[in-house]
């Protein structure tokens, strides 16, 4: 027998298990409360009715925009360094494509058409995969809400990414490429060559993380992929290029914090440790790091010496 509850819904028992039935204003919804306790079933019903009252629609009516809001909120609460980038790209590409669509109506056709449009616009496979990964994450967060905003998470097949790294950039080729670059880009290229850092990670390095006297760079864990701080040696061409870059920074944007700046600077005002704090909390043996840099420096100098001794016809 159905048991009435306050509001537009009721609970009823079937095979010893309580179920709930309620209206969202247009549709009657039924689901198992997964309990033999009537009070627990009534509590679940009240939660569902409260959600209907709050949103004006049932959970099954949630839009993808609402799920994407959960995604951005999660990035903000987790203090993710990539928050700004993710929010910009979601707002530019994902929301316009899916935002107004009800989450329950998302189909593989929508996903396929999105891939085709983005690829046709020149986006790389990896870029499209990241955007769709954010969409899938948004659905997962919606499913974890209490009560859930979605009842299923779409299956999204990733595009093939051909990002295997082959071979190494030898020192003579490095020199050739360095000389061909614009002056403003040379310090970045030199740092990437010597340290093998991710470009996004390098561009977030702050000026006060660079210690030319000790010959090291203290990298805050906030910008590293594994969220752990690290200390990097300064060797080879790095010292001279860092001096040039620091002077350029002072001339272009004396109040900015970033090591690499051009005419416009995206500033992150708070949340970063100073070099002194990194030194205090990231306990490492700097002597080992400096020595590793010296050894690599000697290796590069030896390569240049050998190259200079070879006859020109041999180099060709």
* E-state strands within the chain: 3-5, 9-14, 17-23, 28-35, 210-211, 216-219, 230-233
How far apart CA 242 and CA 215 sit, in angstroms, is 11
Residues 271 and 219 occupy one common structural domain? yes
Residues 136 and 196 occupy one common structural domain? no
Tell me the pLDDT tens digit for each residue of 32-41. Answer: 999 999 999 9
Identify the pLDDT of residue 184.
Answer: 80
Residues 188 and 112 occupy one common structural domain? no
Residues 72 and 125 occupy one common structural domain? yes
Residues 99 and 21 occupy one common structural domain? no
Range of the domain at 22: 3-58
Q: What is the mean pLDDT of the chain?
A: 78
* Residue 309 domain-assigned (yes or no): yes
Beta bridge partners, 3, equal 11
Residues 10 and 126 occupy one common structural domain? no
Name the strands in the sheet holding 210-211, side by side, starting at the edge strand that comes first in the sequence: 210-211, 216-219, 230-233
Nearest to residue 73, comparing CAs of 85, 87, 91, 59? Answer: 87
When pLDDT is averaged across residues 64-79 and rounded to a whole number, the result is 90
Tell me the pLDDT tens digit for each residue of 219-254. Answer: 888 877 777 888 888 888 888 889 988 888 888 888
Residue 68's pLDDT band (boundaries 50, 70, 90)? very high
* Residue 31 domain-assigned (yes or no): yes
Residues 307 and 198 occupy one common structural domain? yes
Tell me the pLDDT tens digit for each residue of 81-133. Answer: 788 889 999 999 999 999 999 998 999 999 999 999 999 999 999 899 999 99
Identify the pLDDT of residue 149.
Answer: 83
Structure tokens at 188: 């970045």
Residue 52's pLDDT band (boundaries 50, 70, 90)? low
Backbone angles phi and psi of 13, in degrees to 5: -105, 140
């Amino acid at each position: 027998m159905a048991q009435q509850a306050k509001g537009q819904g009721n609970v009823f028992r079937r095979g010893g298990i309580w179920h709930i039935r309620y209206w969202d204003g247009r549709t009657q919804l039924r689901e198992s409360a997964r309990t033999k306790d009537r009070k627990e079933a009534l509590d679940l019903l009240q939660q569902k009715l409260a959600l209907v009252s709050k949103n004006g629609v049932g959970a099954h009516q949630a839009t993808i925009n609402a799920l994407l809001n959960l995604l951005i909120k999660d990035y903000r609460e987790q203090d993710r360094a990539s928050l700004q980038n993710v929010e910009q790209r979601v707002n530019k590409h994902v929301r316009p494509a899916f935002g107004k669509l009800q989450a329950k109506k998302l189909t593989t056709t929508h996903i396929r058409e999105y891939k085709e449009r983005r690829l046709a616009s020149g986006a790389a496979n990896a870029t499209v995969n990241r955007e769709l990964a954010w969409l899938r994450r948004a659905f997962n967060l919606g499913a974890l809400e209490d009560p859930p905003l979605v009842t299923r998470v779409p299956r999204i097949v990733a595009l093939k990414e051909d990002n295997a790294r082959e071979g190494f950039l030898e020192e003579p080729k490095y020199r050739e490429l360095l000389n061909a670059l614009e002056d403003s880009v040379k310090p970045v290229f030199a740092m990437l060559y010597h340290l093998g850092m991710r470009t996004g990670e390098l561009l977030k390095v702050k000026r006060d993380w660079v210690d030319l006297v000790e010959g090291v760079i203290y990298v805050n864990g906030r910008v590293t992929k594994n969220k752990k701080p690290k200390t990097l040696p300064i060797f080879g061409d790095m010292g001279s290029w860092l001096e040039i870059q620091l002077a350029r920074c002072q001339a272009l944007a004396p109040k900015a914090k970033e090591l690499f700046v051009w005419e416009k600077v995206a500033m992150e005002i708070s949340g970063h440790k100073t070099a002194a704090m990194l030194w205090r909390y990231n306990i490492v043996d700097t002597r080992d790091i400096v020595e590793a840099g010296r050894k690599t420096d000697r290796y590069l100098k030896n390569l240049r010496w050998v190259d200079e001794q070879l006859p020109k016809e041999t180099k060709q």
